[in-house]
């Protein structure tokens, strides 16, 4: 077996880690060593001392959901007093307000898995965004939503994704991945899309012409083995399709969830930084690893920029899912650029596909 120092050397040279080597790093490498190795790998993938972000908002069209995920505080049954489903015109009005108030260039939209919504709702929504707010990129519909559309229509994933593509959709968010091992997924939600189908949906989307992100929610029923298997699965898919733009991990928030009645401890900053650093080292075919000021807190997010992260996500002007779990962080355009600059990097505004829109002033040199 390779010594830990030999694995370090392999990381410094950009060599591909095996699952066993990844587990060795998780279990034995000091956190600061992982951070140093991950930052070196980050500079190899994204050489500039820049950190990107997107002006976006996260809107939800329905909270009605039949998945019953034990980790989620957002969903409601169809007859619940707080259940809602917004019309396409109502959602377009929300997007227009976000443009007027915040200047957003991307809208990330996800919803509950509402079996009563016809497929035309989804295609009409995409077409309406393209028609009525053409300056905003629609980043819509996670894999569980695509799976639900296939169930409702009786068609396969390729047909669903092709029809959405014709309507004007060409990127998918990576939500609904949680942990891509069925041992864990079956405990979190027995009815939600399984690991193979989550991967199949993204592979099919990439083949059609979509770009998408990959995500991971950890810190609940998962182990380090599950985390590494998740990274292995998305790395293998990226080898085949090169369709993922970024990887985005975040920690589970237990408040107001069924699972939270038995799991109270959240993964703290040290575990988050370890996950982020290991992700950068393991996902050698991903250019972008997102550090989250939103899910982990602003200080931890800034630290993550030195542990392999090169992107700071979005401004997230509106968000409901984390809020229902009593987790709320907010910022402004000035706030997000200041956080990046204070961490020692140059802020760069990007679009959903990681194309540069605007570069902001660099931080002042130390001692200036």
What average pLDDT does range 207-231 have in this prediction?
Answer: 96
The residue with greater pLDDT, 331 or 128, is 128
With a cut of 60, say whether residue 111 has pLDDT above it: yes
Q: How many residues does the chain have?
A: 368
Q: Give the contacts of 284 (CB within 8 A, at least 6 positions apart).
A: 14, 16, 17, 41, 235
Cβ neighbours of 84 (radius 10 Å): 14
The residue with greater pLDDT, 270 or 67, is 270
What average pLDDT does range 167-175 have in this prediction?
Answer: 97
Angle at 222 between CA 217 and CA 223, to 5 degrees: 125
The SS3 call for residue 71 is: coil
The SS3 call for residue 76 is: strand
Could you tell me the residue ranges of all domains in the chain? Answer: 20-352
pLDDT of 223-263, one tens digit each? Answer: 999 999 999 999 999 999 999 999 999 988 776 666 767 77
With a cut of 60, say whether residue 285 has pLDDT above it: yes
For residue 87, the model assigns a pLDDT of 96
The residue with greater pLDDT, 356 or 83, is 356
Range from 7-21, 169-183, 195-209, 263-277 carrying the lowest mean pLDDT:
263-277
For residue 324, the model assigns a pLDDT of 44
| DSSP character at residue 346 | E
Strand order in the sheet with 56-60: 56-60, 106-110, 137-140
Instruction: State the DSSP H helix or E strand holding residue 107, giving kind and residue range, or none if neither.
Output: strand 106-110
Residues 196 and 14: their CA atoms lie apart, in Å, by 29
pLDDT of 153-170, one tens digit each? Answer: 999 999 999 999 999 999
pLDDT of 76-97, one tens digit each? Answer: 877 788 889 999 999 999 999 9
* Phi and psi torsions of 216, nearest 5°: -155, 130
For residue 264, the model assigns a pLDDT of 63
Q: Which of 364, 332, 344, 246 is nearest to 302 (CA)?
A: 344
Q: Taking a C-beta distance cutoff of 8 angstroms, is the pair 150, 115 a contact? A: no
Angle at 76 between CA 70 and CA 78, to 5 degrees: 130
With a cut of 70, say whether residue 317 has pLDDT above it: no
pLDDT of 38-60, one tens digit each? Answer: 999 999 999 999 999 999 988 99
Q: Which of 78, 45, 70 is nearest to 184 (CA)?
A: 70
The SS3 call for residue 105 is: coil
Tokens representing 160 are 């669903």
For residue 321, the model assigns a pLDDT of 44
Helices and strands: H and E segment counts in the chain? 14, 11
The residue with greater pLDDT, 326 or 231, is 231
pLDDT band at 314 (very low <50, low <70, confident <90, very high): confident
DSSP string, 139-200: EE--HHHHHHHHHHHT--HHHHHHHHHHHT--EE--TT-S-S-HHHHHHH-SSS--HHHHHH
Residue with tokens 């109502």: 90
Q: Which of 220, 144, 146 is nearest to 183 (CA)?
A: 220
With a cut of 60, say whether residue 336 has pLDDT above it: yes
With a cut of 80, say whether residue 266 has pLDDT above it: no
Give the CA radius of gyration of the chain: 20
For residue 147, the model assigns a pLDDT of 96
Class of domain 20-352: alpha beta
């Amino acid at each position: 077996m390779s010594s830990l120092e030999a694995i370090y050397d392999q990381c410094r040279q950009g060599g591909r880690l095996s699952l066993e080597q990844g587990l060795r790093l998780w279990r034995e490498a000091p956190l600061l060593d992982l951070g140093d190795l991950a930052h070196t790998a980050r500079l190899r993938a994204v050489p500039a001392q820049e950190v990107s972000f997107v002006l976006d908002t996260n809107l939800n069209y329905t909270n009605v959901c039949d998945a019953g995920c034990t980790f989620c505080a957002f969903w409601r049954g169809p007859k619940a007093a707080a259940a809602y489903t917004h019309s396409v015109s109502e959602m377009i009005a929300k997007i227009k307000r976000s443009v007027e108030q915040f200047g957003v260039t991307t809208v990330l939209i996800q919803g509950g898995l509402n079996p009563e919504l016809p497929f035309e709702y989804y295609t009409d929504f995409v077409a309406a965004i393209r028609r009525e707010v053409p300056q905003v990129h629609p980043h819509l519909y996670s894999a569980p939503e695509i799976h639900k559309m296939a169930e409702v229509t009786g068609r396969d994933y390729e047909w669903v994704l092709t029809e959405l593509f014709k309507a004007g959709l060409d990127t998918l968010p990576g939500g609904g991945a949680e942990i891509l091992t069925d041992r864990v997924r079956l405990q979190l939600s027995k009815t939600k899309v399984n690991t193979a189908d989550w991967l199949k949906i993204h592979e099919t989307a990439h083949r059609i012409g979509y770009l998408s992100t990959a995500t991971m929610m950890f810190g609940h029923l998962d182990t380090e083995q599950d985390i590494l298997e998740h990274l292995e699965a998305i790395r293998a898919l990226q080898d085949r399709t090169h369709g993922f733009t970024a990887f985005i991990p975040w920690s589970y928030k237990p408040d107001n969830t069924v699972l939270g009645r038995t799991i109270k401890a959240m993964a703290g900053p040290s575990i988050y930084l370890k996950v982020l650093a290991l992700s950068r080292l393991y996902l050698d075919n991903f250019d972008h690893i997102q550090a989250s000021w939103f899910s982990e807190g602003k200080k931890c997010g800034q630290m993550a920029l030195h542990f392999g992260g090169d992107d700071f996500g979005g401004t997230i002007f509106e968000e409901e899912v984390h809020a229902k779990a009593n987790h709320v962080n907010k910022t402004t355009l000035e706030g997000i650029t200041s956080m990046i600059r204070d961490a020692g990097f140059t802020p760069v505004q990007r679009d959903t596909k990681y194309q540069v829109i605007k570069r902001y002033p660099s931080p002042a040199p130390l001692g200036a």
